[in-house]
Amino acid sequence: MSTSLIVEKQRFEFGERWSAAFKYDESTFYRQGPERLKGDLDERSGSETKSFPQATRAMDVVGLHADVGLLLLEAKDFRGHRIENKHRMSGQVSLEVALKVRDTLAGLLGAASKAESEFPSDSLVSALKPNQPLTVVLWLEDDTLSDEKKAKATLNQLNSLLKVKLSWLNVRTLVQSSRAPQKVRDLVVTNLIGAGQS
């Protein structure tokens, strides 16, 4: 049975080989658990004290595929907001996703330790094996990706940055867009009405 999820005005259709595909950032477990872990940390330097806000982050989608294994997917649609997101397209979005990966993995481990039943937490954590890389996908849409050649170069650059940020994991990273050939098995992504509009 396929699973259809709407994220950022796009439909992510996970085929039958996906035994799980769900919106982790909207799960009750995340909302009532890891998301509540936030607050300010104070750091002192000499006579100055600076406050740094802390919060737990979450990937949009978690999936489990028979061959691909565990997948964490984040969708970002910057279309129509080019100026506001220019700094993110120069590399910050890769750090944002890497931090979400870190926090999502911690959340999944916590869910498995409690035998969470909202999603198959045991199966998801069991999929983290030395011989099976974790797949991390950033599905990114941006007005600057209109030219296919330029889009490929930008996506490759962001993917390289993401891979470096996640080098502490056995990971396969993909930065994808509707402007480039799709590389995730048994996944079809389509724009919905209003996609790319403010």
Dig out the tokens for 83 from the structure: 């100026």
| DSSP β-ladder status, 134-141 and 171-176 | parallel
Rounded distance between C-alpha atoms, residue 52 and residue 76, angstroms: 25
Low-confidence ranges of the chain (pLDDT < 70): 1, 80-90, 145, 196-198
pTM of the model: 0.90
Q: How many Cα atoms within 13 Å fall on the side-chain side of residue 111?
A: 27
Neighbours of 7 (CB within 10 A): 19
Neighbours of 21 (CB within 10 A): 23
Helices marked H in 42-198 — which ranges?
Answer: 86-87, 93-113, 121-126, 148-165
What confidence score (pLDDT) does residue 36 get? Answer: 95
Neighbours of 177 (CB within 10 A): 21
- Cα of 160 vs its chain's centroid, Å: 15
Q: Please work out, in degrees rounded to the nearest 5, the angle formed at the alpha carbon of residue 186 by the alpha carbons of 25 and 16.
A: 85
What confidence score (pLDDT) does residue 21 get? Answer: 97
What confidence score (pLDDT) does residue 173 get? Answer: 96
State the DSSP H helix or E strand holding residue 28, giving kind and residue range, or none if neither: helix 28-32
